[in-house]
Copies of this chain bind each other. A is one copy, B any other.
Amino acid sequence: MTQNIYDTPAFFAGYSKMGRSVEGLAGAPEWPALQALLPPMAGLNVVDLGCGYGWFSRWAQEQGARQVMALDVSQKMLARATEMTSSPAITYAIADLEQMDLPAATFDLAYSSLAFHYIVDLKGLFARIHEALVPGGWLVFSIEHPIFMAPREPGWLIDDQGRKSWPVNGYQQEGPRVTNWLAEGVIKQHRTLGTLLNLLIQAGFTLSHIEEWGPSEADLKACPELEEEQERPMMLLVAAQRSLA
């Protein structure tokens, strides 16, 4: 069972105030880059793995997706998502991504935003996603970057000229990382970028695009505090495809 940190009061309270919770996709600076990796939505059968408030699922439906299955482990999240949704083309369901079953060869697109770094058995999840995609179907996801996740004590170092560095250590040691982001004791699973990509390849995916997101000039103008994200890779965006055969 995946840790369901989202339903703890402190985490939920903190999370619900974040830009990406209040404003949706527009509040997530990486969204334009992630959107650029997506196939056209018209007519697609989509599964949204870790849908949160359902912003992406509603966007996909508005863009013409035929059907969206939106899954999350958090009851509170799904309750909010359901409140904000009117289309019958979106189905919400409670699901632990570590345990869930998906129908075989069904989805044209599996999407996930910042959920996979909580998954212990990522090999098993990738195998189930691969099987659930139609031939030629897409997996597009974001995940916290391993360089962001690895350090024992995550936090910027600032030199006497005010310049920031991100202190990387423990990179080769894969396994849980406990942080106190929004709540105490949030457990994330660190694996190297190589391991992550090889798990996708071994599951049968062809890698189409790998992006280590950083802010654009426009992002920096709109949101100057993103400047520090020029120093390190913080998020990883990946597009991969199930082979056509």
Contact = CB atoms under 8 A, between A and B. Distances in A.
Contacts of A215: 172
Contacts of A208: 201
A163 B153 CA distance: 12
A151 interface: yes
Interface string A151-189: 110000100000111111111110000000000000000
A168 B171 contact: no
Contacts of A231: 168-172
- A interface bracket (residues with beta carbon within 8 Å of B): 35 or more
B207 A197 contact: yes
Interface in A186-216: 192-194, 197-198, 201, 206-212, 214-215
Interface in A207-245: 207-212, 214-215, 229-233, 236
A49 interface: no
Identical chains in the assembly: 2
B194 A165 contact: no
A85 B229 CA distance: 49
A150 to B, nearest CB: 9
A177 to B, nearest CB: 14
Interface of A: 147, 151-152, 157, 163-173, 192-194, 197-198, 201, 206-212, 214-215, 229-233, 236
The 10 closest A-B pairs by CB, nearest first: A172-B214, A165-B167, A194-B212, A169-B231, A165-B169, A172-B230, A166-B168, A194-B210, A197-B210, A194-B211
